[in-house]
Structure 1
Amino acid sequence: MNSSIHPAFEKALVADGDIPWEKVDDKIQRKIMSFSNELMLVKVAFLQGGIGTMHKHPHLQISYVASGAFEVTIGDESRLLQAGDVYFVPSNVLHGAVCHEEGVLIDVFNPLREDFL
C-alpha cells in the first residue's frame, strides 16, 4: 500500500477508537497509530501465550510495555519485562517476545515498517 494514502500517514491527532485492529494471529493484533517515512508507532495487543517469533529487520526499534508481562529476548539476552519497562532493538539484531500476562506493547520503528502497510 502506498503510505501517502494510508489513513494513519502523518496523522497528527489520533484517537485510539478511530484505528481498527489488524489480526496478526489468534493471540496478537496490532494498530498502526501514525507514521511518516522516517518513523512509525504501532500498538500491539497480546493474549497470554502470544509469541512474537524471533526475527530481525533493518529498522531501529524501541518498545514500551504499556501493560502485561513479556519475556523479551534480544540477541542472547532474555528478561521478563512488565508495565512501564522499555526495550531497544538495534538494526538487524535477532529478537522476539513471549507474552506471560495479557498486555500491550507500543512499538516505535525508524524508518517505517513498509511490510506492515
Structure 2
Amino acid sequence: MKRESLSFQFENEMIWEDLGAGVKRQIMAYNDSLMMVKVQFEKGAVGAVHTHPHTQATYVVSGAFEFTNNGESKIVKAGDGLYIKPDASHGCVCLEAGTLIDTFSPIREDFINK
C-alpha cells in the first residue's frame, strides 16, 4: 500500500497524540519507507525500553535525556543524535524537558494504524 503525508507539515495544524506519563508526539512527514515523528517529554518522563525492527535515527532538539541504546547509556542534549539499529533494545529518561525528532525506516505502521 502506498502511504504518503502531505508535502508540508505545519505544527499548529498537526494533532498531538498524548501517550501519557508526560510524553506526546506528532506524526510528521512519511511514506512507505520513511517516517519523521516529533516527541515531547516532560522532565522525568520515561521512554520505556523496547525494540522494533525499524532503523531509527533520533535528533535532540531541546532538553537532556539519558538514553540506553543496545546496553550502553549516555546523556544526550540539544544538538546531539543517536543511531538505533533494527531490533536494538533502547529507551530513555528525560532529565530536562525537551523535544526529540525520531526518524524511522521503514514507516512505523503501528503509529498510524490505530
TM-score class normalised by the smaller sequence: over 0.9
Q: Which runs of 4+ in 1 moved over 4 A?
A: none
Checking the alignment, whether the CA contact within 8 Å between 2:5 and 2:28 is kept in structure 1 is: no
TM-fit CA distance, 1:3: 7.2
Change (3 A) 1:93 1:10: same
CA separation in 1, counterparts of 2:70 and 2:25?
24
Corresponding residue of 2:32? 37
Is 2:49 the partner of 1:49? no
Is 2:68 the partner of 1:73? yes
CA separation in 2, counterparts of 1:30 and 1:113?
13
SS at 1:17's partner residue?
Answer: helix
CA separation in 2, counterparts of 1:105 and 1:98?
12
Corresponding residue of 2:54? 59
Corresponding residue of 1:24? 19
Q: Counterpart of 1:17 in structure 2: which amino acid?
A: N
Corresponding residue of 1:91? 86
Structure 2: which 5+ runs fail to align?
none
SS at 1:104's partner residue?
Answer: strand
TM-fit CA distance, 1:11: 1.6
The alignment's TM-score, normalised by the length of structure 1, stands at 0.92
How many pairs are equivalent?
112
Percent same amino acid among aligned pairs? 41
Is 2:108 the partner of 1:113? yes
CA deviation map 1:3-33 (0-9, x unaligned): 74xxxx3321111111010001130000001
Q: Counterpart of 1:77 in structure 2: which amino acid?
A: E
Q: Counterpart of 2:17 in structure 1: which amino acid?
A: E
